[in-house]
Structure 1
Amino acid sequence: MDFNSLNYQIIDHTADLGIIVDGTDEKNLFIRTAQAMTDLMVEGDISKETVIKDVVIEGEDFPDLMVRWLGEILYLFDGENLIVNSITIKSISPTKLKSTLTLTSFETEHHQVKREIKAVTYHQISVDKVNDGWQARIIFDI
């Protein structure tokens, strides 16, 4: 192949976005990370309750559980056009989370997409007990 004849342009592309979230305990941390991700994705009035859904997530440890949890929130938005309004976590352990979500239907006249999140990644994921609380670091593929 003659590489001298190739015609292409290199573009600068940022494909990731990360957040660090603090919580008072594990339940609070998982609630706050879901709220933060929702805030990154959508804006508008989400106070209208339309659907209540029980969600159970299982994982290998807290970081895996976090990725799966946020992946479910992302699926509800992308796949079912539902926005998280409020969250009750009934129980949580390093391998299982049981929750009830109150969701609002995404309606273009009331909501706008701020940014598209394609995936929740395992890259540099951390969920740790720090000082008197908990902290998570999550990277999203955008």
Structure 2
Amino acid sequence: MLLAPQSIRDGKMGMDLLQSCMDYHIGSIGTPLVAVILFLFSFSTFLGILFYARSNVAFLFGDKMKAQDAYKILALIMMFVGGIAQYLFVWELGDLGVALMTVFNIIAIVPMSKIALDSLDDYEEIYIKNNKTVLLEKE
């Protein structure tokens, strides 16, 4: 985008700017290429988030069909809204989802921090012990 002439960039923002610049640099394949890349990125991201959220639903509510069905319906509604809503609204929903995941993860991680640090200490002791043994065997 920085290397495209000002006449290509004037009055454009967001996806229009990116597609125009790609058309300028690599020809008429630029717009379809950006569309395919955007589709693949958003689809793989959506699948990853669905898997992560499904695991959380199963952990919180058990692997019960009612909870999983409610989650699937909510995911379909969100996918539909994401397809028809303005992209700023979709980004704000995504940011809200990441913020909520962060808050819930911190709430879960802080009480478990002592266990994690104890496990790290155990691992380091075993690692140092094994490396000393390996070094002694090499001599």
Q: TM-score, normalised by structure 1?
A: 0.25
Based on CA coordinates, which of the two structures has the bigger radius of gyration? 2
Q: TM-score, normalised by structure 2?
A: 0.25
Structure ranking higher on relative contact order (CA contacts 8 Å, 6+ apart): 1
More strand by share: 1
More helix by share: 2
